[in-house]
C-alpha cells in the first residue's frame, strides 16, 4: 500500500489541475469524479491491506485521511467554480438584455427625433414660403410706389420747370413795363411785352400790346402776324385773315420770304375755312369756335396750366 501511495505524484496532479482548468466546468467535473473514484479505490485498498497485513496501519491512516480531505476540498472548489461560472453567465445575459433594451430605446428616440425634425423642417419651410410671398408682395408694392413716385417727381420737375419759366416771363414782363414807363413810344417793347402776355396765356393782353405796337409802327409785320394768330385762336377769322394778309405783304416788301410764305399760307387756310363755315353753318350758330384751325403759337407757360 505504501508503494501505491508513493506513486501519487503532486506534479502529475498539478498537470491534471492545469488541464482541468482549461476545460469547461462539465469536463472538469467529470475529471474530478474519475480522480475521486481512483483516490477512493486507493484509500480502500490501503485500508484492506493494513487489516490483512496488520503492518504500518498507523502510518497509512494519516495519508488516506489527507487524500480524503484533499478530495473533499477539490469537490467544493469545483462546485464553487460552477456556481461562479453560472453567476457570470447570468450576469452577462442580464447585461445583454439591458444593452438590447437600451438599443431599442435609442432606436425609438431616433425615430421620434427624425419625425419631429421632419415636422419642424416642414413647418419652417411653410413659414419661409409665406414670408417669401409676403416679401414678394411688398417688393411689388414698393416697385409700384417707386414708379408712382418717379411719375410724381417727373410731374413736379415739369411743373417746377414751368414755374421757372413763368417766373422768368413775369420778370421779363416787369422789365418791359418799366421800359415802357421810361419810353412809352417804343413799338418793339410793346411787341415783346405782348409776346410775354401771349406766353403767359393772356391773349387779350397780348392783342392790346400788339395793337399798340402796330399803332406806333404801321409796318410792324411781326405784330400783324402774331395778332392774326391770336384772332384765329379766338375764332375771329375775318380779323385774323386781314392781319395775316397785311403781315405777308409787309414780309414780302421787307424781303423776308420764309415769313411771308408762312403768313400767306395761314391766311389762305383761314380764308378758305371762313368761306366753308359761312356757306355751311347757320347764321345764328352759337359755336363760333368750331372748326378753328390750330395755329403754331408760341409755347405757353400759362399759370392756369401750372397747377392743373
Q: Classify the C-alpha dihedral 298-303-305-306 as positive or negative.
A: positive
More confident residue, 128 or 304: 128
288 Cβ neighbours under 8 A, 6+ residues apart: 235
Please tell me the least confidently modeled range out of 60-64, 211-215, 244-248, 262-266.
60-64
- Number of neighbouring beta carbons within 10 Å of residue 39: 17
- H-helix or E-strand spanning residue 145: helix 57-182
Please tell me the least confidently modeled range out of 9-13, 144-148, 206-210, 255-259.
9-13
| Closest residue by Cα to residue 53 from 2, 14, 93, 10 | 2
| Residue 110 scores a pLDDT above 60 | yes
Model pTM? 0.49
CATH class held by domain 183-277: mainly alpha
The C-alpha atoms of residue 278 and residue 75 are separated, in whole angstroms, by 153
* The pLDDT value given to residue 76: 86
* The pLDDT value given to residue 199: 94
* The pLDDT value given to residue 248: 96
Whole-angstrom CA distances from 27 to 9, 14, 21, 38 are 22, 16, 9, 17
The C-alpha atoms of residue 222 and residue 244 are separated, in whole angstroms, by 10
* The pLDDT value given to residue 64: 64
The C-alpha atoms of residue 190 and residue 211 are separated, in whole angstroms, by 9
**pLDDT tens-place string over residues 154-207:** 888 888 888 898 999 999 999 999 999 999 999 999 999 999 999 999 999 999
For residue 51, name the pLDDT band (cuts at 50, 70, 90): low
> Are residues 249 and 261 in contact, defined by beta-carbon separation less than 8 angstroms?
no
**pLDDT tens-place string over residues 234-269:** 999 999 999 999 999 999 999 999 999 999 999 888
More confident residue, 81 or 280: 81
Amino acid at each position: 500500500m505504501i508503494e501505491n501511495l508513493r506513486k501519487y505524484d503532486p506534479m502529475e496532479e498539478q498537470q491534471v489541475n492545469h488541464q482541468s482548468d482549461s476545460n469547461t466546468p462539465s469536463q472538469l467535473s467529470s475529471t474530478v469524479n474519475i480522480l475521486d473514484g481512483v483516490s477512493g479505490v486507493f484509500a480502500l485498498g490501503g485500508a484492506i491491506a493494513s487489516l490483512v497485513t496488520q503492518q504500518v496501519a498507523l502510518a497509512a491512516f494519516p495519508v488516506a485521511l489527507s487524500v480524503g480531505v484533499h478530495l473533499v476540498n477539490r469537490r467544493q472548489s469545483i462546485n464553487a467554480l460552477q456556481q461562479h461560472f453560472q453567476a457570470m453567465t447570468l450576469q452577462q445575459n442580464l447585461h445583454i438584455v439591458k444593452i438590447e433594451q437600451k438599443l431599442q430605446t435609442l432606436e425609438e428616440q431616433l425615430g421620434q427625433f427624425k419625425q419631429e425634425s421632419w415636422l419642424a423642417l416642414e413647418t419652417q419651410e411653410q413659414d419661409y414660403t409665406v414670408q417669401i410671398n409676403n416679401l414678394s408682395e411688398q417688393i411689388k408694392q414698393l416697385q409700384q410706389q417707386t414708379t408712382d413716385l418717379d411719375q410724381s417727381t417727373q410731374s413736379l420737375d415739369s411743373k417746377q420747370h414751368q414755374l421757372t419759366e413763368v417766373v422768368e416771363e413775369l420778370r421779363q414782363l416787369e422789365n418791359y413795363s418799366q421800359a415802357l414807363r421810361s419810353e412809352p413810344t417804343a413799338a418793339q417793347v410793346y411787341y415783346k411785352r405782348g409776346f410775354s402776355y401771349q406766353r403767359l396765356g393772356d391773349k387779350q393782353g397780348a392783342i392790346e400790346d400788339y395793337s399798340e405796337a402796330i399803332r406806333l409802327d404801321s409796318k410792324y409785320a411781326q405784330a400783324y402776324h402774331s395778332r392774326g394768330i391770336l384772332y384765329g385762336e379766338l375764332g375771329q377769322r375775318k380779323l385774323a385773315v386781314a392781319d395775316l394778309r397785311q403781315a405777308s405783304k409787309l414780309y414780302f416788301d421787307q424781303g423776308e420770304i420764309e415769313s411771308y410764305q408762312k403768313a400767306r399760307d395761314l391766311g389762305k387756310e383761314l380764308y378758305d375755312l371762313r368761306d366753308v363755315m359761312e356757306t355751311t353753318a347757320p347764321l345764328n350758330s352759337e359755336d363760333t369756335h368750331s372748326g378753328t384751325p390750330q395755329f403754331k403759337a408760341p409755347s405757353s407757360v400759362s399759370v392756369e396750366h401750372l397747377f392743373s
